[in-house]
């Protein structure tokens, strides 16, 4: 009795390099095993394909990698006689096209995104070498950094000046209750490193200002804006324009969100869209509230746009502001235009000469925290050498404070004298002061903490 193998409905994916440069091609067919599938595809593709893929004995050339559902078939003992199942995806790639750079573990881990025509093997190779800077690891930044890490980029720099509050936990899901008081970038980096050990995570606890923005973004392929301060956004926009780095903006408040992709000197920039916003006039989630779902929507779209840029595709939101309304479940694109009069990217752009005089301190009042206490952030204008946290703690104890939380990138202390005061100090020199009476009081508290403790 002759035993015949059952036919399986499979998809055979041929990369552009084996399709005469005409783009990736997908062929649906029925085959009993891998050899049968190759024979049928070869008949459709012609002699040129056969010569590139097979040796004189009719076997796949040594440089040809064959993947079944993301797994290299060379690990299967049946070889070309390997049986196929309904729904199997077969992908072939010559090593010269980049396949040799992906490990067997990569092929399994990222198989579901490699199967996508929009990414494929070549796109995955580009992702594995991409460097992305995400500024802000709060509500929008949480889903952005999680997705980028899971997708396997090469390096992720995360930047934030803040510490974790209990009010963050309903929407910032990288953090847990025992993280309250910790530096956001430090806690986020710890989670992300556990998520994907192959991705380099760099945590930078610093405020974004016109003094710091350039050094933060320089050398990265894409910058993603997950901030909540318009002044910081403008500084980031200007730095990306100067260094010609694609910049992806997103904002969210209440049930509303917006996203736009900025290609420096080619498309409308942030100031073209919003030329004269003032920090004090801007509503915030602290006063208006925010739905967690809108954060994941805009964050996911930012990641999608970043992946398009990295893999060489055209992003969908260049010169288009996507406006999302969760109440109506509506998605509207508003066309934007670059303006020659723009002070950031137009012909009349301002060239500010940033001069730092005697370590200027920048102070900003934030939304009230801890039942409405006045809250200030103080930031040195220069990126100097790291602050010695042990000296901060020593000074705090002398001033009548006790340590609440402590990490390698920052410390939070509370006053033993006044229940109204708490101070979070970062190694960058930035500090968040909760309970100060006014700006003058906040600067006085800061200077008492920082006096004579910079490392030389």
Domain count across the chain: 3
User: What pLDDT is stored for residue 54 in this prediction?
Assistant: 80
What 3-state DSSP class applies to 143? helix
Higher-scoring residue by pLDDT: 456, 289: 289
Are 328 and 382 found together in one domain? no
Are 295 and 370 found together in one domain? no
Are 217 and 328 found together in one domain? yes
Catalytic member of 272, 285, 342, 345? 285
Dihedral Cα 290, 296, 300, 302, nearest 10 deg: 20
**Does residue 238 form part of some domain?**
yes
Active-site residue 345, yes or no? Answer: no
**Does residue 323 form part of some domain?**
yes
Are 85 and 150 found together in one domain? no
User: What pLDDT is stored for residue 444 in this prediction?
Assistant: 92
pLDDT band at 350 (very low <50, low <70, confident <90, very high): low
Are 155 and 279 found together in one domain? yes
Are 330 and 366 found together in one domain? no
CATH number (domain holding residue 34): 3.10.20.30
- How confident is the model over 258-267, as pLDDT tens digits? 999 999 999 9
Q: Which domain holds residue 267?
A: 129-335
Are 268 and 147 found together in one domain? yes
Are 331 and 411 found together in one domain? no
Q: Is the pLDDT of residue 48 over 70?
A: yes
**Does residue 30 form part of some domain?**
yes
Residues 183, 426 contacting (CB under 8 angstroms): yes
Which of 49, 76, 98 lies at the terminal end of a domain, its last residue? Answer: 98
Are 161 and 61 found together in one domain? no
User: What pLDDT is stored for residue 356 in this prediction?
Assistant: 43
What 3-state DSSP class applies to 28? strand
**Does residue 139 form part of some domain?**
yes
d(CA 294, CA 152): 24
Are 285 and 231 found together in one domain? yes
Dihedral Cα 71, 75, 78, 83, nearest 10 deg: -10
Query: Both tokens of residue 58?
Result: 């009719």
Report pTM. 0.77
**Does residue 326 form part of some domain?**
yes
Are 276 and 139 found together in one domain? yes
**Does residue 110 form part of some domain?**
no
- How confident is the model over 369-384, as pLDDT tens digits? 766 688 888 988 775 6
Q: Over pLDDT 70: what percentage of the chain?
A: 89
H or E stretch including 132?
Answer: strand 131-135
Are 291 and 374 found together in one domain? no
């Amino acid at each position: 009795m002759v035993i015949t193998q059952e036919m399986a409905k499979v998809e055979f994916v041929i990369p552009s390099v084996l399709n005469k440069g005409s783009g990736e091609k997908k062929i649906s067919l029925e085959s009993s095993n891998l050899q049968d599938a190759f024979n049928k595809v070869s008949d459709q593709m012609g002699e040129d394909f056969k010569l590139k893929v097979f040796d004189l004995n009719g076997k796949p050339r040594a440089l040809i990698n064959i993947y079944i559902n993301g797994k290299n078939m060379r690990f299967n003992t049946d070889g070309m006689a390997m049986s196929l199942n309904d729904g199997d995806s077969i992908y072939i790639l010559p090593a010269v096209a980049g396949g040799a750079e992906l490990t067997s573990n990569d092929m399994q881990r990222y198989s579901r995104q490699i199967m996508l025509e929009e990414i494929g093997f070549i796109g995955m190779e580009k992702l594995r070498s991409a460097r992305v800077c995400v500024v802000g690891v709060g509500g929008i930044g949480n889903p952005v950094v999680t997705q980028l890490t899971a997708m396997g980029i090469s390096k992720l720099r995360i930047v934030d000046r803040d510490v974790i509050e209990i009010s963050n936990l309903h929407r910032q899901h990288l953090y847990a209750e025992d993280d309250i008081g910790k530096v956001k970038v430090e806690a986020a980096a710890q989670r992300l490193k556990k998520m994907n050990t192959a991705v380099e995570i760099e945590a930078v606890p610093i405020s974004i200002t016109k003094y710091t923005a350039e050094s933060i973004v320089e050398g990265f392929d894409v910058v993603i804006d997950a901030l909540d301060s318009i002044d910081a956004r403008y500084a980031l926009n200007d730095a990306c324009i100067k260094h010609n780095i694609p910049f992806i903006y997103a904002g969210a408040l209440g049930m509303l969100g917006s996203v736009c992709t900025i290609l420096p000197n080619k498309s409308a920039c942030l100031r073209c869209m919003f030329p004269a916003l003032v920090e004090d006039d801007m509503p915030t989630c602290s006063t208006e509230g925010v739905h967690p779902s809108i954060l994941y929507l805009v964050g996911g779209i930012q990641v999608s746009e970043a992946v398009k840029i990295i893999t060489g595709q055209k992003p969908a939101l260049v010169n288009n502001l996507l406006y999302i309304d969760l109440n109506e479940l509506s998605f509207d694109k508003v066309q934007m235009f670059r303006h020659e009069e723009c002070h950031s990217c137009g012909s009349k752009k301002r060239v500010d000469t940033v001069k730092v005089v005697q370590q200027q301190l920048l102070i900003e009042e934030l939304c009230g925290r801890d039942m409405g206490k006045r809250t200030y952030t103080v930031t040195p204008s220069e990126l100097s050498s790291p602050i010695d946290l042990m000296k901060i703690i020593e000074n705090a104890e002398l001033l009548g404070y006790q340590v609440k939380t402590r990490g390698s990138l920052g410390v939070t202390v509370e006053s033993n004298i006044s229940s109204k005061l708490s101070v979070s100090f970062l190694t960058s020199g930035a500090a968040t002061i909760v309970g100060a009476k006014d700006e003058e009081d906040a600067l006085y508290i800061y200077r008492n903490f920082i006096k004579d403790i910079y490392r030389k």
